A = this chain, B = another copy of it.
């Protein structure tokens, strides 16, 4: 049997040409793997057939949407994961899952290597290969676009010469990645950061300036995970899909950011994440209601570290795993209802309630019934500020000694 390589296959030009290109360059049989993470678009069976038509010795389709929602998006939500405070890690979440299936498929079908269609200047190459290194260190990773010099121009020529069944166009100016957590986009004219985005870029969201009648929803969480909308129980995947539609209608979750890539450069990125943005807003509000102050403050800093780690491709690292255990533990009381108004690009929390609430009306109120003993504060403040007081005395003495 020949050696084999499993290629992460999208159905597009680059990876379709990649099948033959890999075979030519390495002599290996190419197995195509298409993973459904909710990217929508074409039928997965059509994609599978195309892979075979392009020369794959085998083609495998995996529906990983539920797994993606349960095991990748929900941990990200618990972590309120937002790279640079804004970006919910769309591609950073799908890459490790696809890499997992690359490793599984390589193992099942006897391949000694895996391949992906990423370029050499993005984050996704790192995410794929770091995940493979952690899951199946014996596998070799190949990146035809980067390692075998498969440029777009060469791909078009190759496809034409080999009559590959793919539309060939130099025109589409957008570099796009999609999954159920969001849509990412880079494009030429936005490479000047002074140029504003145009309405034509967006697909998951309508223009927030075209204001629709407001929608009010109640999201119910149990231990950090959304379980129902307006009282109707739904799976995480269903909730994400439904919120994409609803929040997308109101133009929620558009992001336009100068981003620090792991490979050391800055890039301009456009994202659309209607469900992710809405869920994170709601989840944070519920945490503010149910987490103790010190834990809440600490977790916010861990969240930034978690987002950096995952952005940087270290999903399967030991640190990421231990941070997950920490974050999971923090969620034991994060249960309750958050009411939001969706409109005009904004998901606004208007109510929060929980049997796990740490908000204590009797302590908080300024009305009759207040149980807070204000006389305690004097002692608290005295000791709280004692280090400042002592050092102020030191400084005053210093000045005195110095004759100032």
Q: Taking beta carbons and an 8 Å cutoff, which residues of A are in contact with B?
A: 84-85, 119-121, 125-126, 129-130, 133-137, 141, 143, 146-147, 175, 186, 188, 191-197, 208-209, 211, 214, 256-260, 262-268, 284-285, 288-289, 291-301, 304-305, 308-309, 312-314, 316-319, 321-323, 325-326, 328-330, 333, 339, 343-346, 348-353, 355-361, 363-367, 370, 372-394, 396, 398, 401
Bound-state CA distance A146–B366 (Å) is: 13
15 chain-A/chain-B pairs, Cβ below 8 angstroms: A120-B378, A129-B381, A130-B385, A134-B389, A146-B377, A193-B352, A258-B285, A295-B319, A299-B322, A318-B391, A325-B326, A344-B344, A344-B346, A360-B390, A363-B390
Of B85, B346, B366, B383, which contacts A380 at CB under 8 A?
A: B383
Whether the Cβ atoms of A339 and B388 lie closer than 8 Å is no
Known: A297-B308, A376-B382, A379-B377. A393 touches B292 (CB 8 A): no
Contacts of A305 in B (CB 8 A): 298
Q: A263-B380, A344-B346 are in contact. List 19 more A-B contacts (CB 8 A).
A: A126-B384, A130-B384, A137-B393, A194-B352, A194-B353, A196-B350, A209-B343, A257-B288, A258-B359, A262-B384, A263-B383, A264-B384, A265-B390, A292-B319, A294-B318, A295-B322, A321-B329, A344-B344, A380-B384
Contacts of A390 in B (CB 8 A): 137, 264-265, 292, 358, 360, 363
Task: Tell me the smallest distance from the CB of A85 to a CB of chain B, in Å.
Answer: 7
Whether the Cβ atoms of B317 and A258 lie closer than 8 Å is no
Whether the Cβ atoms of B146 and A375 lie closer than 8 Å is yes
Whether the Cβ atoms of A301 and B298 lie closer than 8 Å is no
Contacts of A353 in B (CB 8 A): 193-194
Whether the Cβ atoms of A137 and B389 lie closer than 8 Å is yes
Contacts of A309 in B (CB 8 A): 294
Task: Tell me the smallest distance from the CB of A259 to a CB of chain B, in Å.
Answer: 7
Known: A318-B391, A377-B125. A268 touches B364 (CB 8 A): yes
Bound-state CA distance A339–B330 (Å) is: 38
Task: Tell me the smallest distance from the CB of A257 to a CB of chain B, in Å.
Answer: 7
Contacts of A343 in B (CB 8 A): 209
**Which residue, A194, A256, A394, has most C-beta atoms of chain B within 10 A?**
A394
Whether the Cβ atoms of B193 and A351 lie closer than 8 Å is yes
Known: A265-B364, A382-B376. A391 touches B292 (CB 8 A): yes
Contacts of A359 in B (CB 8 A): 193, 258, 266-268
Task: Tell me the smallest distance from the CB of A267 to a CB of chain B, in Å.
Answer: 5
Bound-state CA distance A265–B388 (Å) is: 10
Contacts of A380 in B (CB 8 A): 126, 263, 379-380, 382-384
Known: A194-B352, A364-B267. A383 touches B377 (CB 8 A): yes
Known: A358-B390, A364-B191, A366-B186. A376 touches B379 (CB 8 A): yes
Contacts of A364 in B (CB 8 A): 191, 265-268
Whether the Cβ atoms of B193 and A392 lie closer than 8 Å is no
Contacts of A186 in B (CB 8 A): 366
Contacts of A391 in B (CB 8 A): 134, 292, 318, 333, 358
